[in-house]
Chain A
Amino acid sequence: MSIESTAYPAKSPLIAAELEGQLLQLFQKLDRPVQLVCLLGQDEKSTGMAAFLNHITTLSPQLSCRFLAPGEDTALDERLDASLLPATGIFAGEEFTRAVFHGIPGGKEITGFAAAILNAGGAAKPLDRPTLRDIAAIRQPLTLHVCVSLGCQHCAQLVMHAQRIALENPLVTAHMVDANLYPALVQQHSIQRVPLTILNGGRSFPGGKTMAELTTLLARM
């Protein structure tokens, strides 16, 4: 059973008129439905994210959102990682694109969030053949949590690379994590700088990476 979207504000103060105009134009590229599925907690950030998604979905008829509480769908809890709420998964219709956002993708992360929607909506930027080959060379199941700060210029690009890899390779799931919201995670992994990418919940690697660097690194895992 989903939570009614009307339980949350219809507009987000984070989406100002200029951004709204840019997103409206961008989302005209969507040629299939995109569903934003969000696991919400009881906290302020969850309310903020619900409002953000409510607002986003007014910008294209292809966009819809669904809100759930953790525990309603245990398979979804696992896919989206319900330990870090709010958690929003991007679905191409009913198909999970393996792109997840933890927290509100404000700051520079809005670009990655828009890219993930475009990816799911059939408007992904084309990749060249060597890159696709490198992505296909990743043969281990990998869950990436890319820990970011919303003002970090290196983070958004890395998130976009990771989520594009996830779109192309079903073995990879890529989570953007606004680390500021999850102090336990920060403490557990001694995060002092971002981006920091945690692989399968264990080892981590720091710093921004080009697509080629990231695919090479992941293929070695």
Chain B
Amino acid sequence: MTHLIRKPLEPFSVHGYRQGESRLYTHEDLLGHWSVLFFYPADFTFVCPTELKDLGEQYDLFAAEGCEIFSVSMDSHYVHKAWADASETIRALPYPMLADPAGVLARQFGVLLEEEGQTLRATFVLDPEGRVALYEVHDLGIGRSAAELLRKVQAARFVAEHGDQVCPANWQPGEETLTPSLDLVGLL
């Protein structure tokens, strides 16, 4: 078993649905900017719309980070449209809903549940070159937070732009003063 960090995006072409319009989306739609691939098990389920809605409500914040969002399920784009027609929440989603009925993307990212014909609840953040910068994979019932995801996208972008010359800070008031450790080499 290996990890997917820095894995390059492989070519693909799938249909997608966005606010009343369907078109083909390819890997090139995910290049040149940060991207979130947001896999969810299936349309017309209960937990999914809350996650998708949460993500939609924070879409502008992701856009401000130069990050595009793409949700993905193994439903066809016709099913996406039917769901949007039936649900005001889904109709309002500002990002494309990719249709992956053949599991092309689900297999590429290793999140396909073959026997169930669904994907795990998984999120991949890709850098502008299409390489995986971070990912999280949840079992089906465990929801995700758009706010947490946004913080991770910001961190990934920051590190990509500024290298590793920074330390993440957890600003919890009341941290104990650290015991001083003198670096004599830096002084002599």
A residues engaging B (CB < 8 A)?
A: 14-16, 19, 22-23, 26, 45, 48, 104-111, 114-115, 118, 125, 149-157, 160, 179-180, 183, 186, 191-195, 206-209
Total interface residues on B, CB under 8 Å, equals 25
Q: A47 to B177: give the CA distance in the assembly, Å.
A: 13
Instruction: Name B155-183 residues within 8 Å CB distance of A.
Output: 155, 158, 162-163, 165-169, 171-173, 175, 177-183
**Which of A14, A19, A106, A194 is B166 in contact with, Cβ under 8 Å?**
A194
Q: Within 8 Å of chain A (Cβ to Cβ): is B187?
A: yes
Is A107's CB under 8 angstroms from B180's CB?
yes
The 22 sampled A-B contact pairs (Cβ below 8 Å) are A14-B179, A14-B180, A16-B179, A22-B184, A107-B179, A108-B178, A108-B181, A111-B181, A114-B182, A115-B187, A149-B167, A152-B167, A154-B165, A154-B167, A179-B169, A180-B175, A192-B158, A192-B168, A192-B169, A192-B171, A194-B167, A195-B167
* A residues near B173, Cβ cutoff 8 Å: 180, 183
Q: A149 to B151: give the CA distance in the assembly, Å.
A: 19
**Which of B162, B179, B183 is A106 in contact with, Cβ under 8 Å?**
B179
Is B186's CB under 8 angstroms from A206's CB?
no
Is A26's CB under 8 angstroms from B187's CB?
yes
Q: A54 to B154: give the CA distance in the assembly, Å.
A: 43
Q: A98 to B165: give the CA distance in the assembly, Å.
A: 25
* A residues near B175, Cβ cutoff 8 Å: 180
Is B169's CB under 8 angstroms from A107's CB?
no
| A183, closest chain B residue (CB) | B173
In the complex, the number of residue pairs spanning A and B with C-beta atoms less than 8 Å apart equals: 101
B residues engaging A (CB < 8 A)?
A: 151, 154-155, 158, 162-163, 165-169, 171-173, 175, 177-184, 186-187
Is B169's CB under 8 angstroms from A149's CB?
yes
Q: A111 to B177: give the CA distance in the assembly, Å.
A: 15
Q: A179 to B169: give the CA distance in the assembly, Å.
A: 9
Q: A209 to B162: give the CA distance in the assembly, Å.
A: 10
**Which of A115, A160, A180 is B171 in contact with, Cβ under 8 Å?**
A180
* B residues near A26, Cβ cutoff 8 Å: 182, 184, 187
* B residues near A19, Cβ cutoff 8 Å: 180, 182
Q: A213 to B99: give the CA distance in the assembly, Å.
A: 47
Is A23's CB under 8 angstroms from B182's CB?
yes
Q: A110 to B180: give the CA distance in the assembly, Å.
A: 6
Q: A5 to B18: give the CA distance in the assembly, Å.
A: 69
| B185, closest chain A residue (CB) | A111
Q: How far is the CB of B148 from chain A (nearest CB, A)?
A: 13
Q: A115 to B172: give the CA distance in the assembly, Å.
A: 29
Inter-chain pairs besides A107-B181, A207-B166, 20 sampled, C-beta below 8 Å: A15-B180, A22-B182, A26-B184, A26-B187, A48-B177, A107-B178, A108-B181, A110-B181, A111-B182, A114-B182, A118-B187, A150-B178, A156-B183, A179-B169, A180-B171, A180-B173, A192-B155, A193-B158, A193-B166, A206-B162
